[in-house]
Amino acid sequence: MFETQNETGPATSLDFPFVSLQLIQAFENYKNSSTGQLSFVTILLLFLGALARIFTSYQDTKDKILILTFVSSAFFNGILVSQVLYYWNSKPKEKQL
């Protein structure tokens, strides 16, 4: 009924910048040993939303590329969730002059 070929292209191309931004954020968190003002609730909801998209995409379309896009998003959001939990009470490193 629905053609998934047209739906896959934009979703895959639009998700790449967000995944690259998540990688940059994860690296900065690691470098600073702190997540700063990163909201745990926001990151957790992004992670859970990505998990829901994996499930619904599998149920509705079974499109492997679309599902892989959401799996990568969930993976990197999971990294950010784990960093927020790991660095929960830590203070950012002071920059040396």
Per residue in 11-66, pLDDT (tens digit) is: 555 566 777 888 899 999 999 888 888 889 999 999 999 999 999 999 999 889 88
Q: How many CB atoms lie within 10 A of CB 58?
A: 14
pLDDT at 89: 83
Predicted confidence band of residue 4 (pLDDT cuts 50, 70, 90):
very low
**pTM score, whole prediction:** 0.76
3-state helix, strand, coil in the chain (%, to 5): 75, 0, 25
pLDDT given for residue 90 in this prediction: 78
